[in-house]
Structure 1
């Protein structure tokens, strides 16, 4: 957990190093943990986002190892505050503990992360989708996230707000289930569903079927139904 300096609080932290081509992700999203883009694509494969999990406290170290392999990474963080010596101090910490995201082709992902390959430390591994059948290697397939989902997710968490949170589905009271677009305010451009969370109206996005992330309070006037 790192204290934010005055220079960092507006954009959520210093930009990580970049190399090679620029990414299609917006500059604001880059400021919250996106690194350099993927290696060249081969065999007609398209890159996708993989959820990766690590042992406690090693997210930043693991993401740096992937960046050295020219892999685009994203460490989702959110703002929290503490009262220290009578003053409110803001910090950044992982939104989803011990999880970060990396964008690469499936073959490159398996090349780097299959245990038998030993290209990366064993504490970095795929976050696997246990809702799907096991593969030939008797492992569940990795969680793969579309670029559209990740762009929406990164747009949400790029906002400096103490009220962004991961929520349980049981604690969300969805209104209609229809997708909406936030058309004004700090979360402008975020797509999700309107729900009641912590007694407030918020927009909740679904990152695959594994995580629900809620914005801060959103006024009704800032919400538009999508077609």
Structure 2
């Protein structure tokens, strides 16, 4: 499988050449460095990608393992797998659906492309790299005739105001524009819509372990609820 998308991104008013492509073994050191920049201490080192996990990604589902280069420098990555999903499925946690990040839970004919992780180096975050990576996954959904892209968005601002609002109310406030949440707002701007709040999705102090399942529906496949 080959995938490569060339375009330009902007640093201020300066256009820079960018490439979205499949990541490969020689990228692994750089991908781990990206995670270190995105999740500095006190984030546990053992929760960053390992060489074994990255190797498992490209072995189980290379088409869903993408990285971004800007002017020849690795700037970000996104990892995904395919699952079977229906909207009335019971809630799940990140650990179970991703096989602890090894994605051996990948289902080759799954109807849904599930986002495992997206990371963009801080120095590149004003260049729309995260949005480019997600849009590349949308293209994969369409190309392979899947129903949707799905993933859990950390409610990264929730813990700070949990005493003021229940999780569902917090999301209603984000959707009403009276609150901003860095992760959820980014996903909304990237075309994704919320399905429901999930408790105990991922051990994460900032979100009080809460996430929102957010999807992008294939416009050529799904037309209703």
- Highest CA radius of gyration, 1 or 2? 1
**Fold conserved between structures, TM > 0.5:** no
TM-score, length-scaled by structure 2: 0.25
Of Structure 1 and Structure 2, which has the larger fraction of its residues in helix? Answer: 2
